[in-house]
Structure 1
Amino acid sequence: MAADSKKTEFKQRVRYWAGKLDITIVWLGVRPMRNKWASCSTAGHLNFSDELPGLKPELWDYVIVHELLHFSVPNHGKLWKSLMRAHLGEYEVQEGELRRIAGNQAPQHTRFD
């Protein structure tokens, strides 16, 4: 699949999850990011690494849900972990895979948000 169509598919997946989680996205970007997979702001702005559309959709979901939950839960505490588990099940599997990928691309993507 061409890069542009993967990027479009990825953005559609972000919008799907935003709707499911009742999150309003003001701005959505997919761009080069050197040190993390994604970031979000309290103003409703989301940025995702342009490398994500090239990964498998299960990893997309992890990063997307991770960021969207930060609109209501700003940390990675018990509530955030509980919500991640409720939406993705054993999310640690995807988290570990992303960490392995990041390790293979060091120094890029050392953080998730």
Structure 2
Amino acid sequence: MSEVNSKNRFKQRVHEWAEKLDVQVVWLGVRPMKNKWASCSTEGHLNFNTELLDMDEPVWDYVIVHELLHFSVPNHGKLWKSLMRAHLGEYEACEKELRQKVQNKI
């Protein structure tokens, strides 16, 4: 799949999850990021790392849901973890995969 097609599919996936989680996305970008997989602002702006485009959809979903939940839960406490589990089940496998990718880059 071309990068443009991957980026469009990824953005479509973000919008699908945003609708499901009842989150208003004001602005959505996919761009190179040096130190993060994604970021969000309280104004509804989302940025995702282009490196995600080369990963599997379960990892996409993990990062997307992770960020979208921060619109209502600003930390990684018990509520956030409960919501992650409710939407993605055993999400820790994706967390581990992302940590390993970071380690492999170092």
Q: TM-score, normalised by structure 2?
A: 0.99
Cα RMSD for the two superposed structures: 0.5
How many residue pairs align between the two structures?
A: 106
Amino acid paired to 1:45: H
Distance 1:6 1:72 in 2: 28
Structure 2 counterpart of 1:109 = none
State the alpha-carbon separation in 2 of the partners of residues 38 and 105 from structure 1. 17
Question: Offset of 1:99 from its aligned partner?
Answer: 0.5
Structure 1: tracts of 5 or more residues without a match: 107-113
Q: Which has the higher contact order (CA 8 A, sep 6+)?
A: 1
Q: Where does structure 1 differ by over 2 angstroms across 4 or more consecutive aligned residues?
A: none
Report sequence identity in percent: 69
1:49 maps to what in 2?
49
Residue 90 in structure 1 maps to residue 90 in structure 2 = yes
Letter in 1 for 2:98: L
Give the structure with the higher percent helix. Answer: 2
Q: Give the SS at the match of 1:47.
A: strand
Q: What's the counterpart of residue 22 of structure 2?
A: 22
Unaligned runs of 5+ in 2: none
